[in-house]
Structure 1
């Protein structure tokens, strides 16, 4: 969908230099050279690569393209799409009548950047933060990944060791392994809140009236693999084997147990980058995270009231639903939609992102966005962080942007925390819904 310009928007024509027309007979070879392969072996002709798709003018067009099993990585301002696709995907997209060009990235764009934080380093930093701020930081392990790594949750409040009766806010990061800037966002949130307590009036008050959960990396196996070689591996999924297939991994953000696989918004092919798994919550990491959220219920009431799931890239603030284009529908009345929209637009005012319903891009199903709201009643958002184009690094922007691009979300995070006691206050309906 067309998006208004903002300070980080690319100028017209900047994408032109990236284009290379595909020669059909050489399609596999071209794609194999565009990105990291997602495996530790040399690129093969059936490996996914980055393509630009033209002719998709509507959300329905984009949904049709996503239904082939590709990952739509960006909707560009001129309406073209950047997508990660296999040669078979490209053949199917071409048969649907859309144009496809290969995108050749410079080799240096895929070199791992030591400025990003590995999973062992995340654990070290969390432990150090808990030691420095023992009253403010409580850590717990809510499960193990498929490969046996601890899945860590961090609770931040003025008395973090005690589970108090307060509104809770959830921040999740790195469901998709190839999005390392989201992990840096988690570290920034934790540092901002702990350092601000006692010196910043707003943060101090929030820590005295809220409990904040930060899950800094929900897919550590994928992250470790993505950073394991001398080039980024462009790995999105988990690393758990799929029975009956040589393909590894499930797309965590298509594996959630609300309208799973309902609406042509995910793939049933284990080879696909958007593979939804063989059943809802079949991914080890999704089941653990869902159990963690369900475990925050007390006396039959979910204590988590608001949440953000951080992703890259595209600079968007998205809200549910993703499985339908409808705003008011089964599971979403007008006041509920208006609350999501108003909060989304408020947060976008300060970070410069584009606010919109998730399905305005294209249909997705089995997403955390939809599950958190429909199953748990949590007002929630997906942030697609910097950059707004592939020109600025795509999934792997240089690490020298980390400080600026994480600080860019300080005010939205604080805004969401501020409304956690009663999200409906933003539409003036606190008496109706919050007693």
Structure 2
């Protein structure tokens, strides 16, 4: 049964954040009028009146385009970036700061930027929660990060399976007895709130089993799989900035050229499904890599998804998944307050478009996000994405959540840490539970 009660989150607002963090937390670190000419602090710039061709040109030149819609793009960069845009004939206007003020008194070991966990801390917490709950959890190593494959440190990619364990549960087998809900976060390293939301989802399930009837029913009937950090090397780079996190989006693969702080491959443009229509500039934030699924992180996620989910959709572009197909997949991103449905690579609707929109609307009853395709939401196409792969290859009902609004204290890539518990997690708690409860029949009317 899908969740029908509405969580009481509508009252969560910036006033709650102010009460939790103090007035200083609402003051950004850059001048509200915009950076001075010699200021290297990144901010968000609005650029209006862009044609599709101009937007593609800016992306190919390596500008960091955070969002684009209806001829407006938000571009991340310092004052020098704004000058470069002016040299190209554009008129950037300051929109908002990237960094929010941080209270150093609340920061603890293993955290950065006011409380966000490092990769090492996540790994330790995953180990601890699975060891403490052997009847509910199984931890899987599903692959390696790029740095680990190079013998340069790096990390394992860790997935935790949560269910009331019986024989055969939580094995990587597409013919599982229970339907599956899979969630992953931080494939883009700088989207730091997404990993924390994934972690609170894990805690909700572990803490709620046996006390919360809906959680208990869910874990009795469904396997829930979570990868809190898909891009751990990138997150290490982000966290290395401390209270001024590095704006690292991609992984740590530095073999494609001298890109300085723009190194890496965009793992959400590197999937083998419909790969190849994004940037070929190694220094662009949407660099797709030299070949499809070139990166070990991409290979690991794709193999994991194939091992987890039966192939339920025909080979044709217009072949729908059948009404009795099972399983739901969500990948968490930021920002925009969107629930995005397939496809990203084409403007043509997915063959299960109506059912995907219907489940998206059920989830949006809780977070209030706008439901639609890439064209409906972020306003640009994408190729080689994980959600397109999960749906397009396997027929899994797949969604991207763009968490958090358009900058402000609780928006953008680096929301204040207190925003996670004050708004970002509460508004998505019911949406995730709704998705998980639909895993047995996501396309059913």
CA contact (8 A) 2:185 2:331 kept: yes
Aligned to 2:241, what secondary structure does the other structure show?
coil
CA contact (8 A) 1:345 1:355 kept: yes
Instruction: Supply the distance in 1 between the matched residues of 2:79 and 2:348 (Cα, whole angstroms).
Output: 33
Q: Please tell me whether residue 281 in structure 1 is matched to residue 293 in structure 2.
A: yes
Match of 1:316 in 2: 338
> Residue 70 of structure 1: CA displacement?
3.5
> Residue 239 of structure 1: CA displacement?
0.4
Match of 2:141 in 1: 141
Match of 1:411 in 2: 430
State TM-score, norm by structure 2.
0.77
CA offsets 1:169-201 (integer angstroms, 9 cap, x no match): 110100111111111111111111111111122
Flag the 1:281–1:341 CA change in 2: closer, same or farther, 3 A: same
State TM-score, norm by structure 1.
0.79
Instruction: Supply the distance in 1 between the matched residues of 2:363 and 2:396 (Cα, whole angstroms).
Output: 17
Flag the 1:383–1:51 CA change in 2: closer, same or farther, 3 A: same
Cα RMSD for the two superposed structures:
3.3
Q: Could you tell me which of 242, 250, 254 is aligned with 2:265?
A: 250
1:31-180 paired onto structure 2 within 5 Å: 33-35=40-42, 50-56=44-50, 66=59, 68-74=61-67, 80-84=72-76, 98-101=90-93, 105=97, 109=101, 112-148=112-148, 149-159=155-165, 162=169, 163=171, 164-180=176-192
CA contact (8 A) 1:74 1:82 kept: yes
Instruction: Supply the distance in 2 between the matched residues of 1:97 and 1:106 (Cα, whole angstroms).
Output: 24
Instruction: Supply the distance in 2 between the matched residues of 1:238 and 1:52 (Cα, whole angstroms).
Output: 27
CA contact (8 A) 2:96 2:408 kept: no
> Residue 418 of structure 1: CA displacement?
1.6
Instruction: Supply the distance in 2 between the matched residues of 1:415 and 1:313 (Cα, whole angstroms).
Output: 21
CA contact (8 A) 1:68 1:93 kept: no
Match of 1:396 in 2: 414
Aligned to 1:141, what secondary structure does the other structure show?
strand
State which drifts further: 63-72 or 212-221.
63-72
Aligned to 1:408, what secondary structure does the other structure show?
helix
Instruction: Supply the distance in 2 between the matched residues of 1:107 and 1:374 (Cα, whole angstroms).
Output: 37
CA offsets 1:104-131 (integer angstroms, 9 cap, x no match): 7387558941311111111111111112
Q: Could you tell me which of 225, 232, 247 is aligned with 1:234?
A: 247
Q: Could you tell me which of 326, 331, 347 is aligned with 2:363?
A: 347
CA offsets 1:355-382 (integer angstroms, 9 cap, x no match): 2212322111111121111112111111
CA contact (8 A) 1:387 1:397 kept: no
CA contact (8 A) 2:271 2:298 kept: yes
CA offsets 1:253-289 (integer angstroms, 9 cap, x no match): 1111122123xxx211111111111111112211111
Flag the 1:165–1:256 CA change in 2: closer, same or farther, 3 A: same
Instruction: Supply the distance in 1 between the matched residues of 2:355 and 2:287 (Cα, whole angstroms).
Output: 31
Aligned to 1:423, what secondary structure does the other structure show?
coil
Gaps of 5+ in 2: 1-9, 15-27, 105-111, 149-154, 314-324
Q: Please tell me whether residue 188 in structure 1 is matched to residue 200 in structure 2.
A: yes
Aligned to 1:134, what secondary structure does the other structure show?
coil
Number of matched pairs = 385
CA offsets 1:29-85 (integer angstroms, 9 cap, x no match): 56xx132xxxxxxxxxxxxx64321124x8887666545544432358x97431236
